């Protein structure tokens, strides 16, 4: 069970509202990652360095504890793929935007509900 209790209230409320509407379309949201401690984020980064061979390459996929909005409670990872597709279509209605073009599951509250999402960053680095 990912930690959602320390998520930003507004983010969690937006995700809950979106999940309720998606359920009407037969789409079920699963929160795959919510709040992370700085220690846990560092461990993910360390693991990624081992996997990708360098810090530079790892940072394309995993942020530093200082840079990750999971650590501040302002980012959420959602699955499965059909939920991500639904959110990429409808997320802006709730203020939810995909942040990185290489992470279709990672969403942040980055516009007003009904607003326009900012351009995606290519990756987390
Ligand atoms: Zn994420």
Please give the domain boundaries of the chain with CATH numbers for all domains: 9-109 (3.30.1380.10)
Q: Could you give the CA distance from residue 20 to residue 15 in angstroms, rounded to a whole number?
A: 9
Q: How far is the CA of 70 from the centre of ligand 1 (A)?
A: 6
| 5 pLDDT higher than 80 | no
Give the mean pLDDT of the chain: 95
Per-residue pLDDT tens over the stretch 26-52: 999 999 999 999 999 999 999 999 999
**What angle do helix axes 81-90 and 9-24 make, rounded to 10 degrees?**
110
Q: How far is the CA of 106 from the centre of ligand 1 (A)?
A: 4
pLDDT at 65: 96
pLDDT at 4: 74
What is the DSSP secondary structure assignment for residue 122, as one 8-state letter?
S
> Containing H/E element for 108?
strand 106-109
Query: Which pair of tokens denotes residue 54?
Result: 């360098």
What mean pLDDT comes out for the span 82-104?
A: 97
pLDDT at 43: 97
Q: How far is the CA of 42 from the centre of ligand 1 (A)?
A: 14
């Amino acid at each position: 069970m990912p930690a959602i209790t320390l998520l930003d209230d507004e983010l969690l409320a937006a995700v809950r509202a979106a999940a309720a509407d998606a359920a009407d379309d037969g789409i079920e949201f699963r929160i795959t990652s919510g709040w992370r401690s700085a220690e846990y984020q560092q461990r993910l980064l360390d693991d990624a360095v081992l996997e990708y061979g360098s810090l530079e390459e790892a940072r394309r996929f995993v942020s530093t504890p200082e840079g990750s909005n999971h650590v501040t409670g302002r980012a959420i990872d959602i699955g499965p793929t059909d939920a991500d597709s639904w959110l990429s279509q409808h997320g802006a209605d709730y203020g939810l935007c995909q942040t990185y073009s290489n992470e279709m599951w990672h969403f942040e509250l980055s516009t007003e509900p009904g607003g326009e999402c900012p351009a995606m960053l290519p990756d987390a680095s």
